[in-house]
Structure formats: C-alpha cells, structure tokens
Amino acid sequence: MAHWLFKSEPDVFSWEMLLAKGKTGEEWSGIRNYQARNNMRAMKLGDKGFFYYSNQGKAIVGIVEVCKLAHRDSTSHVDSWDCVDIRAASGLPKPVSLETIKTDRRLADMVLVKNSRLSVQPVTSEEWEIVCALGGVKA
DNA sequence: GCCAACGTTGGC
DNA sequence: GCCAACGTTGGC
C-alpha cells in the first residue's frame, strides 16, 4: 500500500470538517498542480495518507483513507483535473508538528521538507512508520 | 508582512 | 524551445 500526504489550511477545510463527512468523505477538489494530480491518479482504494495543516497549525493531525479513485474534479471546467475522495480514518493522539519533522534526521528527505509547496505528496513507508510512532498511532 | 521557492505563462 | 516576468504558496 502506498502512503500520501494531503495539505489543507485549517480555516479553509479542517480535520473536524472531514470527520463530519463520515464514511462518504470529501472530494479533494481544487488541486491545480500536475504533480499533485498525478499523485492522486496513482492512488488506490484504501491507501492511507496524512492530513497536514499548512499555514496555520503546521502539523500532521490525522490519518485519512482514499475512498474513491481519481475522477474528474467536479469544480473544474476543463477535463484535465482529476481528484480522489478521502475520508477520516483516525486522528493523531499527538499531532506531529513541522518543527518535529524538520528536527528529526530520519525525516530529512520527506517531501514536506524538500518541497513544501506540493499539496499532495507521496510518503515512504519508512517515513509513514516514523510519523505514526511520533503521533502515537500504530502504522 | 516578508520573501524564497516553485510553477505557469507568454513573447521571442 | 528558451527564459523573463509574474503569480502563488507557505514558512518564518
């Protein structure tokens, strides 16, 4: 199973809002970046991802699950933009801050550190396990 | 609020 | 196809 990271600004779309969407989840629309889109196209049902707060919060606060494969982004007027749907899987007992990630040498190669602007990122299984451990959940 | 990093656009 | 100009993102 592949692992991912989804960024969201908490005042735009928060973890609580995703939780409120329940099992149906949320269409992760509005992504207008080819790399991010290609990452979503590569996702499989059941793939897990981190839910990261950018700008405000700057921490991984939860774990999400891909619940619908990539499809046409309903908010796009052109057919070049696709997105998946995601739903909340579990919250992190201990949110893992960007500061923590940056100071952990094992996480120095995370895309979040190397290319912080990419809004949908791949996460290696090693990174996944380390962050899960830091966050107080089983990988 | 600033600015570095990155992606996109458009003129040539 | 190159690259300067511009816009956006996101950490600080």
Would A64 be classed as within a structural domain?
Answer: yes
Supply the range of the domain harboring residue A87. Answer: 3-134
From the list A63, A69, A68, A39, the residue with the least C-alpha distance to A51 is A63
- Residue A58 has a CB neighbour count (10 Å cut-off) of 16
- The burial of A110, by beta-carbon neighbours within 10 Å (0-12 exposed, 13-18 middle, 19 or more buried), is given as buried
Number of domains in chain A: 1
- Measured in angstroms, what separates residue A102's CA from nucleotide C8's C1'? 23
The integer distance in angstroms from the CA atom of A30 to the C1' atom of B11 is 29
The pLDDT score that the predictor gives to residue A38 is: 96
Q: What does each of the 139 residues of chain A score in pLDDT, given as a tens digit? A: 999 999 999 999 999 999 999 999 999 999 999 999 999 999 999 999 999 999 999 999 999 999 999 999 999 988 889 999 999 999 999 999 999 999 999 999 999 999 999 999 999 999 999 999 999 999 8
Does residue A118 approach strand B to less than 7 Å at its CB?
A: yes
Of all nucleotides in the shown strands, which has a C1' nearest the CA of A32? B7
Classify residue A93 by burial, with Cβ atoms within 10 Å: 0-12, 13-18, 19+: exposed
Number of residues that this document lists for chain A: 139
The CATH number of the domain where A52 resides is what?
3.10.590.10
Quick check: A122 and A111 in contact, CB under 8 A?
yes
pLDDT the model gives residue A77:
85
- The answer to whether position A55 is within a domain reads yes
In a domain, A139, yes or no: no
pTM over 0.75: yes
Place of tokens 């739903």: A87
Q: Is A34's CB less than 7 Å from nucleic acid strand B?
A: yes
> Does a structural domain hold residue A108?
yes
